[in-house]
Amino acid sequence: MNILETICANKRLEVEHQQQATPLAVLQRQIDEQKHAKISFNASLQQSDTGIIAEFKRQSPSKGLIHPDADAIEIVSGYEAADAAAISVLTDEKFFGGSFDDFQAARRVISKIPLLRKDFIVDEYQIYQSKAMGADVILLIAACLTQEEVARFAILAHELDLEVLLEIHNADELAYIRSTIDVVGINNRDLKTFTTGIRHTIELANQLPDGFVKISESGLSNPQTVLQLRQAGFQGFLMGETFMKTDNPPETLRQFIAKLSEL
């Protein structure tokens, strides 16, 4: 079993426990009381000068602890001030050190740019959960789901006024793309070995249907690489470790954007 299969198997068990603790009817009441008006992820990427989706995460399976004591409010508000196009917050606890508390803290202070709930969605319940938390966009990972599940989950997300980022990592997963997908992400990381590289990403991007906003995910650390991807048609760049491994992630983002603007 590779790491992604391990994560998804654990996630299904987590969701069972979450459903017992907080029934769907409770989430639906929270959604009815939700006052946050969605900010479009798709539009924000198209309008942004940077396209950088700055991620808040404490650890990862490939790198271990990155910034375990990070303050979510301080960092995400700094990301917004530093001109990120959007913010991603990990909510997986076991493998990424995230939490619902981190996401809800971010939701309290982020008001101008979209907030992505980054997790491994394997059940409709998590989509209601995402809406109740105040997400603007959810991630669906093709490698975790069937084509039918992606189709069904995307329809539900739209019914709840959420946008959908579909992550793919090989040509076989192009078949998952459909009109209900708002943004397509190509993961630079091999989900079986967790090694990264962009050559495959650019080749795969050339096979995408026309008209989709596309983003590059994982392993990005060099402004020149972002420029190369931008020239290949990418409008978004999901980056976390590059910023989070430093003492001051928002300042590192600000310096990265400054270097990018000089190219």
Q: Tens digit of pLDDT for each residue in 88-139?
A: 999 999 999 999 999 999 999 999 999 999 999 999 999 999 999 999 999 9
Q: Which of 44, 55, 60, 88 is catalytic?
A: 55
Among 200, 183, 182, CA closest to 191: 200
The sign of the torsion formed by the CA atoms of 5, 6, 7, 13 equals positive
Rounded-to-integer distance, Cα 65 and Cα 60, Å: 7
**CB-hemisphere CA count at 13 Å for 114?**
30
Q: Which of 167, 188, 214, 216 is catalytic?
A: 167
Annotation marks residue 218 as catalytic: yes
Q: Which of 57, 77, 88, 241 is catalytic?
A: 57
Annotation marks residue 149 as catalytic: no
Annotation marks residue 217 as catalytic: yes
Rounded-to-integer distance, Cα 168 and Cα 191, Å: 10
Q: What is the pTM of this model?
A: 0.95
Annotation marks residue 57 as catalytic: yes
Annotation marks residue 214 as catalytic: no
Q: Tens digit of pLDDT for each residue in 165-194?
A: 999 999 999 999 999 999 999 998 766 666
Annotation marks residue 167 as catalytic: yes
